[in-house]
Chain A
């Protein structure tokens, strides 16, 4: 019977454990996959096990036991619970589901339900869609169970009860989940004890109980449980629309001092962020890296305790074009950290990516030849490492110049160089064959001898010569209303005869300092 499936549910078993290890480097995750892993929480004086995986359960670890007792188990991996990681994992799960449907409900921690009605034309039959969902979740570091059914609650019970992907046909809800244990239902402690005392172990047994006596003993909640296992509950999906925040973090057990280890973690975090961005068909144009540092300070030798101080180290990478390639982003972060290292052991890493619309470019016959933006950005980051970030005036050393509307000479700023299609700018009065100047930055201090108010001889750098012709002066001034930025000068154009030619220079006298400078050479 071909009946359309309407809802799919994604369930993450041992969510707290999976959220805790998903950002670890691939090798570590593989090594831990067959080992007991437990997450502990609570006060530092008496931490207790909050959650554990199946291997840990087999090894005898239970939730609620103390960390010290759990540590007696050989090969166990103990992780501290981090609510931030759980929040990020849930956000990643929602992003994953959003790649398949616009209507996604964040049902609970580690559970999302999505409306898949009408998605067959895009993703193919339901079993294929469920497989794709599971694969996508695996890419963001979560191993999930997925089930599809005609109502959200049956899909949830199916996802909790069956491993892998499960399709429950409409009208067959009760039969499909009949053999599942009642533990898959949202039971309270009291309800679980009552059902256990009645000898009700499976959903089928609960479904067959007479409704009226059940209601008399367990109330409306008991009737609701029975309707759940019969597949009779119909509820409306409540889609979520969380703010787009792409942030991943990881805290080290022992602080990391070398760059190589840090890069492993950065790569993993960026992979997670990139996968989430891809799910949302987005890219990023700004990366914010926050490193929690562990700084040891000198202390009194008589004191046994060594003082520790934690500080935050932040770097922001502004990208001229939006991108989502992990390799490029990692390379840019590496290059940035190589020149602006944290300078202290790193205890915690957080990366946040600002979402931006993906860049769509279509090659055209008449489009100008341009460098590939991702490659170019890496190249420019390397070049910045060679020539420096900015000059003494704060102007960038790599980029495109933009002339400022000012009477002051040599006023410009540097903007990010992009290869985006350039729209026609404001009209500029330009003329072919216009004279061009070669500037001296910093300005060359000159010694000028004057006669009758006119320069007659000049010495600067390696040059010392009589002035053969002079034009000027032209007085200019500006910013007189600002004490620090005020300028007043007297400009001259001078020609000097050198051994191998003539030089036409722009010189000026700074009237505030009463000093001569050579500004540039007409070349």
Chain B
């Protein structure tokens, strides 16, 4: 025991000046996160990391749960902060977002006009101005979910690098909704959404249509990659969305 202590002392002596504490366990830096409020997601990653880009990926024409997750994040963030949403395809629905708990008075909604590449250009210019021009937002969201995959792929990686460099100086997360993973290595977290299952009030197809209601949707979520942690979680979990009257 004494020899172990002496060896330790010798090592510490040799490394003094180069390594501060060679035998002290390094405490990982706790990065602040914005909790999503969805237990299935928070259990995996705690929330979306602040000062980083989070990418929420879901197929374009499918019910994947992107808007459900976006509304959930906005409802959490607008409780005590101001948020900004750059909407490339002008697809945000204030009525259902309000029903989901989003405080619309604390939301800055930028509705881009045009279609395809024009809409995307407007969205990126607006996001750039917002990021460069004024801090102070608790959450910044760039919604490209309705843009076709071909156009989103054309965004140069340098754009995401520039965004990452700016976001790192902010204390807010930048959440990007895309139909295809495009942010690449600039992304702090990738959330893949898929596999919606519709819950009908009457699952049998033979019943009368007017007596049937879509009661809710169940989505699958998978954390694709996370820069802050060594081992990305690959487990697939699910969360749901309910009709308000259900």
Across the interface, B210 reaches (CB within 8 A) one of A379, A412, A473, A520, namely A473
Binds B, one of A200-208, A299-307, A346-354, A498-506: A498-506
Any B CB within 8 A of the CB of A138: no
The docked-state distance in angstroms from the alpha carbon of A493 to that of B63 is 13
Any B CB within 8 A of the CB of A387: yes
The docked-state distance in angstroms from the alpha carbon of A429 to that of B98 is 9
Residue of A nearest to B110 (CB): A398
Q: Which residues of A have CB within 8 Å of B104?
A: 400-403
Binds A, one of B15-23, B129-137, B224-232: B129-137
Q: Are A520 and B93 touching (Cβ within 8 A)?
A: yes
| Count class of interface residues, chain B | 35 or more
Any A CB within 8 A of the CB of B64: yes
| Min CB gap B141→A, angstroms | 13
Q: Which residues of A have CB within 8 Å of B38?
A: 433
Q: Are A398 and B61 touching (Cβ within 8 A)?
A: no
Q: Are B68 and A435 touching (Cβ within 8 A)?
A: yes
| Min CB gap A23→B, angstroms | 31
Known A375-B133, A436-B68, A438-B91: A369·B138 in contact at CB below 8 Å? yes
In the complex, per-residue mask of A426-441: 1 if CB is within 8 Å of any chain B CB, else 0: 0011111111111111
In the complex, per-residue mask of B222-246: 1 if CB is within 8 Å of any chain A CB, else 0: 0000000000000000011111100
The docked-state distance in angstroms from the alpha carbon of A520 to that of B205 is 23
Across the interface, B95 reaches (CB within 8 A) one of A412, A504, A521, namely A412
| Min CB gap B23→A, angstroms | 40
In the complex, per-residue mask of B146-179: 1 if CB is within 8 Å of any chain A CB, else 0: 1010000000000000000000000100000000
Q: Are A371 and B110 touching (Cβ within 8 A)?
A: no
Any A CB within 8 A of the CB of B7: no
Residue of A nearest to B214 (CB): A493
Q: Which residues of A have CB within 8 Å of B99?
A: 428-431, 434
The docked-state distance in angstroms from the alpha carbon of A372 to that of B64 is 36
Residue of A nearest to B215 (CB): A435
Any B CB within 8 A of the CB of A425: yes
Any A CB within 8 A of the CB of B196: yes
Known A382-B133, A387-B112, A429-B99: A435·B75 in contact at CB below 8 Å? no
Q: Which residues of A have CB within 8 Å of B92?
A: 401, 438-439
The docked-state distance in angstroms from the alpha carbon of A476 to that of B16 is 79
Any A CB within 8 A of the CB of B125: yes
Known A501-B62, A502-B63: A471·B214 in contact at CB below 8 Å? yes
Residue of A nearest to B99 (CB): A434
In the complex, per-residue mask of B70-97: 1 if CB is within 8 Å of any chain A CB, else 0: 1110010000111000000111111111
Q: Which residues of A have CB within 8 Å of B61?
A: 461-463, 498, 503, 521
Known A383-B129, A432-B101, A503-B61: A439·B91 in contact at CB below 8 Å? yes
Any B CB within 8 A of the CB of A260: no
Any A CB within 8 A of the CB of B105: yes
Residue of A nearest to B80 (CB): A368
The docked-state distance in angstroms from the alpha carbon of A314 to that of B58 is 47
Across the interface, B209 reaches (CB within 8 A) one of A414, A461, A472, namely A472
Q: Which residues of A have CB within 8 Å of B134?
A: 371-372, 375-376, 379
Q: Are A401 and B67 touching (Cβ within 8 A)?
A: no
The docked-state distance in angstroms from the alpha carbon of A414 to that of B92 is 13
Q: Which residues of A have CB within 8 Å of B117?
A: none
Q: Which of A389-426 contact B (CB under 8 A)?
A: 391, 397-403, 410, 412, 414, 417, 419, 422, 425
Q: Which residues of B have CB within 8 Å of A318?
A: none
Known A383-B110, A401-B109, A522-B214: A435·B126 in contact at CB below 8 Å? no
Q: Which of A432-461 contact B (CB under 8 A)?
A: 432-441, 454, 461
The docked-state distance in angstroms from the alpha carbon of A467 to that of B90 is 26
The docked-state distance in angstroms from the alpha carbon of A380 to that of B109 is 11
Q: Are B67 and A437 touching (Cβ within 8 A)?
A: yes
Q: Which residues of B have CB within 8 Å of A397?
A: 110-113
The docked-state distance in angstroms from the alpha carbon of A399 to that of B95 is 16
Residue of A nearest to B121 (CB): A386
Q: Are A433 and B113 touching (Cβ within 8 A)?
A: no
Known A379-B129, A500-B194: A425·B105 in contact at CB below 8 Å? yes
The docked-state distance in angstroms from the alpha carbon of A501 to that of B65 is 12
Q: Which residues of B have CB within 8 Å of A400?
A: 104-109
Across the interface, B100 reaches (CB within 8 A) one of A414, A436, A473, A504, namely A436
Q: Which residues of A have CB within 8 Å of B138?
A: 368-369
In the complex, per-residue mask of B194-206: 1 if CB is within 8 Å of any chain A CB, else 0: 1111101000010
Across the interface, A441 reaches (CB within 8 A) one of B91, B100, B130, namely B91
Known A430-B99, A500-B59: A386·B126 in contact at CB below 8 Å? yes
Q: Which residues of A have CB within 8 Å of B196?
A: 501-502, 504
Known A-B contacts: A454-B209, A473-B209. Give 19 more (CB < 8 A).
A387-B110, A387-B122, A402-B94, A430-B101, A431-B100, A431-B244, A432-B101, A435-B244, A436-B68, A439-B91, A440-B91, A462-B61, A470-B209, A498-B62, A500-B59, A501-B195, A502-B63, A522-B63, A522-B241
Q: 4 shortest A-B CB distances, which residue pairs? A: A379-B133, A371-B136, A501-B62, A401-B94
Residues of B within 8 A of A (CB): 37-38, 58-59, 61-68, 70-72, 75, 80-82, 89-101, 103-113, 122, 125-126, 129-130, 133-138, 145-146, 148, 171, 194-198, 200, 205, 209-210, 212-214, 216-217, 239-244
